[in-house]
Homo-oligomer: A and B are copies of this chain.
């Protein structure tokens, strides 16, 4: 699959051999100035460096890692870089791996399991030092495959106790409780949870947290699920449905919505009905702190997820993985509440 035409090949890449020739040394020496400069006499070192500059040499990383058997990259696969929690994970992982002199390569699966698997393969084939994976819904197949092949993997944001890997999680159950506590404290006596399939662990856990609090408080608890969290306009539909059910004089309602994106649509739809006051009649909040979907006329209450810490922690676990006596860990990080106008109203905000 070279180029069909004659010789218009991109320009030939200078190799270590050419550098050696130009500098009048052996390739071993060139390799040494690259990797252990102190093993080389200052004079020759200069000469080689100069030659490197002259020919415009860039060492071939593929050859290098093939020969040496080492790679200096960690890779991260996230489902969707459009959700700020994954951006935070990237930053956390970036920061941690940078400190170790490793480079972090990021891939976004764009919400497509096939793309996710492709990247897992790419990174496995690249013999990346390890893979940080925040899997899409249930991808045990993919995880297991990578795992089987002896690659180091740390799973983020998905609990797989049976999978023989390190995992880094956030406490979604506690987050659910926190959210419910928040609106109950504000005086709401009717809760509605908008979720999706419980196959998605974060959905299930947040739901449970809220449900438990509602039960303990003896408060009305309703649920409403969407088919597809990513479908365009789903939030608007949810909001419209809620608005239609509502009539003046109803007991105030607090709606806890599993993702901020969904909540954004819902809030916008509800605000469109001018006769409903937010939050006096209906309070809303999101539950996944996704800044990327805060495009609402009034600020939305949400949870703050520990993405950055999770990324950093994942790198730590990945490195720990290479210790002989390593035993897999399951780290759970806390979430926090970020109260804003959609539940608080115009009172002083936290």
Contacts and interface: CB of A to CB of B under 8 A. Distances in A.
A57 to B, nearest CB: 8
B5 A324 contact: yes
A299 interface: yes
A66 interface: yes
Interface stretch (A103-111, A176-184, A233-241, A278-286): A103-111
Contacts of A171: none
B125 A103 contact: no
B94 A61 contact: no
Contacts of A70: 1
A340 interface: yes
Contacts of A151: 58
Contact of A295 (B59, B106, B115, B299): B299
Interface string A1-25: 1100100101101000000000000
Interface stretch (A80-88, A191-199, A218-226): A80-88
Copy total for this chain: 2
Nearest to A321: B10
A98 interface: yes
Interface stretch (A116-124, A135-143, A329-337): A116-124
A63 interface: yes
A149 interface: yes
A246 interface: no
Contacts of A103: 107, 118-119, 122
Chain A interface size, as a band, is: 35 or more
Contacts of A73: 122
Contact of A108 (B1, B90, B122): B90
Given A65-B62, A81-B91, A292-B291, A115 B98 contact: yes
A217 interface: no
Interface string A236-275: 0000000000000000000000000000000000000000
A56 interface: yes
B292 A126 contact: no
A206 B244 CA distance: 44
Interface of A: 1-2, 5, 8, 10-11, 13, 56-66, 68-73, 81-82, 84, 87, 90-91, 94-95, 98, 103-108, 110, 115, 118-119, 121-122, 124-127, 148-152, 164, 291-299, 322, 324, 340-341, 349
B150 A13 contact: yes
B349 A297 contact: yes
Nearest to A73: B122
A196 to B, nearest CB: 22
A293 to B, nearest CB: 8
A292 to B, nearest CB: 5
B297 A125 contact: no
Contacts of A69: 2
Contacts of A341: 297
Contact of A56 (B60, B94, B150, B322): B150
Given A10-B322, A110-B95, A298-B298, A62 B56 contact: no
B105 A107 contact: yes
